[in-house]
Amino acid sequence: MEKRLYNFAAGPSAIPEEVLKRAQAEMLCYPGAGCGVMEMSHRSAAFGRIRDGAEESLRRLMDIPDDYAVLFLQGGASMQFSMVPMNLAARGQKTAYIVSGHFAKKAFEEAGRWGEAVCAASSEGDGFSFIPEPGPGAVPPDAAYLHITGNNTIFGTCFSELPDTGGVPLAADWSSAILGRRIDVRRHALIYAGAQKNLGPAGLTLVIVRKDAVRQDIDPVVPTMLRYAPQIKADSMYNTPPCWSIYMAGLMFEWVEAQGGVAEMERRNLEKAALLYGTIDSSKLFENRVPARDRSVTNVVFTLPTAELTEKFAAACAEAGIINIKGHRLTGGFRASIYNGVGLEAVRALAGVMERFEKEEGR
Q: What is the pLDDT of residue 291?
A: 97
The burial class, CB within 10 Å (0-12 / 13-18 / 19+), for 326 is middle
Query: Could you tell me if 354 and 283 are in contact, meaning their C-beta atoms sit under 8 angstroms apart?
Result: yes
Gap between the Cα atoms of 279 and 275, Å rounded: 6
Gap between the Cα atoms of 279 and 215, Å rounded: 48
Interval 307-362: pLDDT, tens: 999 999 999 999 999 999 999 999 999 999 999 999 999 999 999 999 999 999 87
Using DSSP bridges, classify how beta strands 170-173 and 190-194 pair: parallel, antiparallel or unpaired. Answer: parallel
Fill in the amino acid letter for 265.
M
Query: Could you tell me if 26 and 36 are in contact, meaning their C-beta atoms sit under 8 angstroms apart?
Result: yes
Query: Could you tell me if 241 and 74 are in contact, meaning their C-beta atoms sit under 8 angstroms apart?
Result: yes
Say how many CA atoms lie within 13 Å of 221 toward its Cβ.
5
State if pTM tops 0.85.
Answer: yes
Fill in the amino acid letter for 224.
T
Interval 15-61: pLDDT, tens: 999 999 999 999 999 999 999 999 999 999 999 999 999 999 999 99
Q: Indicate if the pLDDT at residue 363 is higher than 70.
A: no
Q: Predicted confidence band at 1 (pLDDT cuts at 50, 70, 90)?
A: low
* Per-residue CA distances from 278 to 16, 204, 282, 302, 360 (Å): 25, 34, 6, 12, 19
DSSP 285-348: S-B--S-GGGB-SSEEEEB-SSHHHHHHHHHHHHHTTEES-BPPTTT-SEEEE--TTS-HHHHH
Beta-carbon contacts of residue 158 (< 8 Å; ≥ 6 apart): 131, 150, 151, 152, 177, 294, 295, 296, 297, 298
Mutual angle of helices 243-259 and 17-26, in 10-degree steps: 130
Gap between the Cα atoms of 68 and 48, Å rounded: 20
Query: Could you tell me if 207 and 235 are in contact, meaning their C-beta atoms sit under 8 angstroms apart?
Result: no
Query: Could you tell me if 249 and 195 are in contact, meaning their C-beta atoms sit under 8 angstroms apart?
Result: yes
Query: Could you tell me if 335 and 326 are in contact, meaning their C-beta atoms sit under 8 angstroms apart?
Result: yes
DSSP 163-205: ---TT--EEEE-TTTBTTB---GGG-SEEEEETTTTTSSSS-E
Gap between the Cα atoms of 109 and 92, Å rounded: 14
Mean pLDDT of 172-191: 98
Tell me if residue 206 falls in helix, strand or coil.
strand
Q: What is the pLDDT of residue 362?
A: 74
Among 77, 79, 148, smallest CA distance to 108 is for 148
Q: What is the pLDDT of residue 109?
A: 98
Gap between the Cα atoms of 284 and 363, Å rounded: 6
Residue ranges and CATH numbers for the domains of the chain are 17-259 (3.40.640.10), 261-360 (3.90.1150.10)
Q: Indicate if the pLDDT at residue 195 is higher than 80.
A: yes
Q: What is the pLDDT of residue 294?
A: 98
